[in-house]
Chain A
Amino acid sequence: MLRGTIDISKFGKNGKEDYSQLCRSFNRNFISLLYSGFAQVNYGLTDIDGIYRTCEIDRDRPLLGVTQPALHLPFTSQDMLGVQVGSSDAVAGPTDYDLGNRVIHADASPEAANAVMEGVRYTGSTSTRNIYGATWAIQTFHVPWAVNAYTIRLYCYRAGDLSARTLTVSIRKTDGAWNPTGGELAVGTATGVELQGITTDTNGQWFEVAMTSPCVLRPYTRYCIIVRIDGGDYSNSLRWQYGGSGSSSGYRLYRGGADCSGSSSNSGGSWSLSDSYHQSNYFLVMGRHPVGLCHYPTLVRTIAFPTPPPDIQFTIERFFHNFTGSAITLRETGLYGSAPTSASYENFVYLIARDVLTVPITVNNDELLKVSYAVQISV
């Protein structure tokens, strides 16, 4: 018999508490990745963003990695692989592609003020995307760690009169082709009075738009900033500056994503992205670290031969530390594994197991939690 168990230990002021249950929910993604390896075929499955991607068999880029994410991953944060925890108790199913409500990685309490979390600006030659009416602009980006985004800054200047206009800045996810997908995760607006305060000097300046509600962005997920104005014309528009080599063989100005910037001439109905020209709009994501648990690295412990049986097992474990100042209640666990696609020479991340805890576990401030998946065989 081959099976998994989940063992959880909580270390607090009152000592150690242990919980254990069967791992019931290795899922279809796990089976699909094994299948891809067995049959040596490319196979499509849904990543943790809900995007259908083709796992492609490619030399030296294995399937199902739960550790060591550095090579070929579209993010730098180790927390996006391996053991995960969350707060949802929605019933687990074979086709789950992410935790119901994943608790993100945060290694400190949120700051009191916003700081630059991501962005780019180049002081060399620049051009502008002119935003008015149905002509919208877009910039895609990643965040290097989990961010609670409060404001977006655009490097821009104003042409003409925008006093009767409203500027809207939104954040959305993108699909596999970097086009916006899903609803607005966060949105902020600027009034005509505020827009009239933007310089008309073509050297530009930073202009900040606050999101109505801050939104938590996670590493791995590809986001975009969409900027639009309700009216105006070419002579009365916002000029969002961008730069870059302008050549597909040139340098990449912004490496936080595929440096896709672009525009839409039909109010976002379709998008023209300039990835091949390596250009980026100048933007800053301003925010704070979000509330979450500190995710220490996932470790795969060495193979053991316990007595009494199981005859052989190894464990995948991760420690979580609560620095938030308040309690967090966990109701689910999961495992993230990576697999390659050769299309963009990147690996993507898939949920390969998800379990609802039989007993919710509250992790108080400064408590440490260890979650272990034990994979076992008994003959």
Chain B
Amino acid sequence: MTDIEIKTQPNLKVIKEEIPHLLAEGEIGAILELTVSDKNGNITQKRVMKSESFVRQFLELLWVNFQNLDYRSGRYCADVYGGVACVRADRRLWTAGGAIGETHRGILVGTGTNVPTINDYTIQTLISHGTGAGQLQYSAVTFGAPSSDATTSQFTVTRNFANGSGAQVTVHELTLVVQSYADSNIQYSHMIIRDMIPGGIAVPNGQTLTVNYRIQVTT
């Protein structure tokens, strides 16, 4: 086992980097940036790709949100555990902030390789939080505040996954999970994006995978 420090980065920051332009004209979507770095912060791998697979729960939550529906008229929407929740629009809808080790919201990683479908509601094979074999240590989720250039606006959701398992872990799938509050004030988790990483991305022991989902709209 390797001792890896999980950094929480609690403060919001304005994204200074150039905004990547991979979306088609008029597309609402996300850019996925994957960076693997060693314990000294040196980048050993970096990939930038278009997030391909928003799934139905995203549209369902947006639908509820646009209409300000309450729990009496909300929409039944699949949660990540295979149940359904009557989602209502309130201020906590879309909550994606997860604390260290939490795997019910924010960015999650997995080893599943099934092609995404519109009806996917959960990660295929979750890599759990920890330092055991095949596990990664989940940092807290952080956010980059909105920014825009001449054509594109974005904000960023970030999570670090540190490998202290003692062996390489390869990530093949990524999901973004947000929460809603349904009747009786109960929280539910909904997967809104599921992406496959072609060929997977290997995270050697002692190194950290940083995942940035940059949610974008283009003009």
Interfacial residues, chain A to chain B (CB-CB below 8 A): 1-4, 22-28, 30-32, 34-35, 37-41, 43, 57-68, 92-95, 300, 303, 305, 311-314, 316, 337, 340, 375, 377, 379
Contact = CB atoms under 8 A, between A and B. Distances in A.
25 contacts: A2-B29, A3-B28, A24-B219, A25-B219, A26-B28, A30-B153, A31-B217, A35-B143, A37-B93, A38-B215, A39-B96, A40-B92, A58-B91, A62-B65, A62-B90, A62-B93, A66-B67, A94-B149, A94-B151, A303-B75, A311-B118, A312-B56, A313-B59, A375-B28, A377-B56
Given A35-B146, A41-B12, A65-B89, 16 more contacts: A2-B27, A3-B24, A3-B28, A22-B26, A24-B219, A27-B219, A31-B154, A35-B215, A43-B146, A57-B91, A64-B62, A377-B58, A377-B59, A377-B118, A379-B52, A379-B118
List 9 tightest A-B contacts by C-beta distance, closest first. A37-B94, A62-B89, A22-B26, A28-B153, A311-B118, A35-B155, A65-B68, A39-B143, A26-B217
B25 A379 contact: no
Contacts of B75: 303
B219 A2 contact: no
Contacts of A37: 65, 91, 93-95
Interface of B: 12, 24-29, 52-56, 58-60, 62-63, 65-68, 70, 75, 89-97, 116-118, 143, 145-146, 148-155, 157, 178, 215-219
B111 to A, nearest CB: 20
Contacts of A67: 66-68
Contacts of A60: 70, 90-91
A62 B12 contact: no
Nearest to B105: A38
Contact of A24 (B62, B91, B218): B218
Given A3-B26, A43-B145, A68 B67 contact: yes
A12 to B, nearest CB: 28
Contacts of A64: 62, 65-66
A348 B155 CA distance: 22
A25 to B, nearest CB: 5
